Structure 1
């Protein structure tokens, strides 16, 4: 559509000229375009594009793109819920084991004896004025303890992101603590554990920023470990990423792992008999119907 803004009627006319079949009432189509947006919804009719002029497979329905969009929404909600469980669990373990190893040092995350100096040099990227003001317990700490530059680890790390928690883990000097935590998740190679966590953070960030999930491709292949198999040996697909979530989650709570697996299967099952969407799910996500 170039660099010129267009009206709903122009957007609809363009899609019709490319072969889109509108199976909703015109007002409903406009409501959807206003709700989701033409550009974002374009990610979900892109699998139906057949040439460089953006023409669509004959018979492509507007509802097909909308259904694919809502598949992504539902999937994002499921993944976010269980990724949060993993994030909180990792944070808790890092705080518990490191704080108990260095009991007399509540600020161990800025101690070069505990943490790599490179991380410490960049701490103000995470622990800045916005951080202190936007997190109420941190703000209250500094109001009470005026001379403290930082709050203790068990307060501070509670408000760091999943990505920063992993950075702290990677920069711990004590390999024994790192191995102990990694082993708790059934991963006995530190570099592979960190790689799996990188996968989860990439997935979490995609969900958090409403990125497109159904055709997600990881920037690098997932590390192979025992008991973790990928369909068609594809180590970069959405389905493989989901398998990592299930594996790590199962080490925290087997019942939660089963719950998540059931929710994922039920979601995809809704499209088992939808020939077009099932094909897209299988080709793009690498999910295998049983």
Structure 2
């Protein structure tokens, strides 16, 4: 298909509402719809009424499609992201703590600077550059105290990695040379090192999706975690489960939380959220018919 220049004009809120109505979307409360378009934006909400389109080329809605239903999906998605972010924080902190502990005891306080420990020297050099930038930007009191007291260009790992992004942590782990120490970290969480590196990378992507308030509920993940071949903790039958969808991501979180917080209430809270939004199609999130029968989800 030949490309062309974009020439659609910006629409007023009233024009946006008229356009949606002309395309078949039922709007029962126009003042409220106008307020939501003003507060959230047409384009952001469009991701939630997109599944309601019967003709996606001409943006025509299925019979009975309502603005309220699209907003309900938006609200569900927002609360789902909050639920996920709450657990990702615990996972990131736990992985950070385990990496610092094992690698510092094995290789010393400044292990992250030792190029001998890493597979790709160029990647390691770039990571050190990122760490240097994060160190220089930090205004944490313990970093200021280190700068004032010591001559070292960078602090020990238990300080440095506390101000490091999880994305940089993921790069550090994946670039570590294969061996016993790398396996020890992954084994603590019930995985092999290759799968663990993949899951860390996926967590970085997932966190960015949630932190930027992007649509999550029916997203096809651009970065997919590896399906584990063997685990030392409870997993599930993933043979018919897509690792591109939210169900796999949530299952991955549940798996890791067996180590981090075995008494977690994620499933209870998620089921309660679903009960509050009964119109949510869980199949669009990759949930199989028998998901409630999986031991991981009980």
TM over 0.5: yes
CA contact (8 A) 1:218 1:236 kept: yes
Q: Which residue of 1 aligns with 2:152?
A: 148
Q: CA deviation at 1:41?
A: 0.3
1:224 to 1:243, Cα distance in 2 relative to 1, 3 A:
same
Q: Which residue of 2 aligns with 1:263?
A: 269
- Structure 2 residue runs of 5 or longer lacking an equivalent are 1-5, 293-298
1:200 to 1:137, Cα distance in 2 relative to 1, 3 A:
same
User: Partner of 1:217: helix, strand, or coil?
Assistant: coil
1:30 to 1:134, Cα distance in 2 relative to 1, 3 A:
farther
Q: CA deviation at 1:150?
A: 1.3
1:193-235 deviation line (CA, Å, top 9, x unaligned)? 2222223222222111212111121234632334233383322
Q: CA deviation at 1:61?
A: 0.8
The one of 18, 40, 45 equivalent to 2:23 is: 18
Q: CA deviation at 1:131?
A: 4.5
Q: Which residue of 2 aligns with 1:80?
A: 85
Q: Which residue of 2 aligns with 1:161?
A: 165
User: Partner of 1:50: helix, strand, or coil?
Assistant: strand
Give the Cα–Cα distance (whole angstroms) in 2 for the partners of residues 169 and 123 of structure 1: 11
2:116 is aligned with 1:110: no
Give the Cα–Cα distance (whole angstroms) in 1 for the partners of residues 269 and 288 of structure 2: 14
2:230 is aligned with 1:222: no
Q: CA deviation at 1:110?
A: 1.1
Q: Which residue of 2 aligns with 1:30?
A: 34
Q: Which residue of 1 aligns with 2:69?
A: 64
Give the Cα–Cα distance (whole angstroms) in 2 for the partners of residues 23 and 193 of structure 1: 49
- Structure 1 residue runs of 5 or longer lacking an equivalent are none
1:8-62 deviation line (CA, Å, top 9, x unaligned)? 00000000000111122x3221211111110000000000011111010111111
Instruction: Give the TM-score, by structure 2 length.
Output: 0.85
1:210 to 1:231, Cα distance in 2 relative to 1, 3 A:
farther
Q: Which residue of 2 aligns with 1:181?
A: 185
User: Partner of 2:205: helix, strand, or coil?
Assistant: helix
Give the Cα–Cα distance (whole angstroms) in 1 for the partners of residues 153 and 142 of structure 2: 11
The one of 232, 252, 256 equivalent to 2:240 is: 232
CA contact (8 A) 2:127 2:168 kept: no
